[in-house]
Amino acid sequence: ENIFRDAVIEEFADAYLAGATPVPCIRCNERVKFKDLLATAKDLDADCMATGHYIQRKLGAGGPELHSAADPARDQSYFLFSTTPEQLAFLRFPLGHLASKAETRALAAKYGLSVADKPDSQDICFVPNGNYASVIEKLRPGAADPGEIVDMDGNVLGDHRGVIHYTIGQRRGLGIGGLGDPLYVVRLDPDARRVIVGPKEALATRVIPVREINWLGDGSFDGVGEHHVSVKVRSTRPPRPAIIRPLGPTEAEVELLDPETGVSPGQACVFYETGGSRILGGGWIWKGRAGA
């Protein structure tokens, strides 16, 4: 519990307060499940550690590879990009090849498991009702201080009840209707307690700075000039064609061939083999030189 709080929940709160859109499930896999839990499995002399993630492990010419789940509606590859080759050698994902969740439930029923009819959950485990702001307020009292909603020129359009209640790309619930064309949250400035809004086209992002890259492809990540891949910048969106230009072993600029809206610091950018199912790695979007 202490590790989970320190490595996942505390960072989630700090990232949200900094105006980012964190993905704590990735950090949980990286820092708890596939670190301490996996180490415990090895201490017990286990042959491997199996999880219920919907993703596939396949043996390639260079060793184990990570591939998307057979069921695209259940695929969890976005949340597992930081899995290392060493971890992958010890992990198994027995559900990844199943065609649908119905097959999983049928197997659970066949073996008499009580979770066979358990309802699906889309919520973060420590935010069971989806109310992120209330969790942040408990962890960081005073985090919901009010401030101004301004347009891209700095003109005040209204007031807000705390930056933590807003996310990049949000349109509803701004309380500034009737001002003409729809307005979206395009940037958050927690230091000035300002929510900056603008037209939808202001959300379009083509070049994304990415760091803390975990490379699962062949060869050295920064050993070539660029990588032509597909990328996901949100778990619910399909991969888009992109070019990765390495800036070092764990940092790069990712150019989307078609601009994406709602790209936010704190989200993951996950790399996929173009036209294939293999996950080539990924990293974290941040406020870097590309200005994303």
Distance from C-alpha of 272 to C-alpha of 242, rounded to nearest angstrom:
10
Distance from C-alpha of 252 to C-alpha of 261, rounded to nearest angstrom:
20
CA atoms within 13 A on the CB side of 273: 13
Q: Which of 25, 28, 48, 269 is catalytic?
A: 28
Query: Is the separation of the CB atoms in 254 and 226 below 8 Å?
Result: no
Query: Could you tell me the CA-to-CA distances from 20 to 24, 188, 268 in Å, in that order?
Result: 12, 8, 11
Whether residue 125 lies in the annotated active site: yes
Q: Which two tokens stand for residue 262?
A: 């709602």
- The closest alpha carbon to 161, from 175, 181, 178, belongs to 175
Q: Which of 25, 48, 125, 269 is catalytic?
A: 125
Distance from C-alpha of 121 to C-alpha of 258, rounded to nearest angstrom:
32
Residue type, 26: I
Q: Which residues pair with 92 in a beta bridge?
A: 50
Whether residue 25 lies in the annotated active site: no
Q: Which two tokens stand for residue 218?
A: 């062949």
Which residues belong to the active site? 28, 125
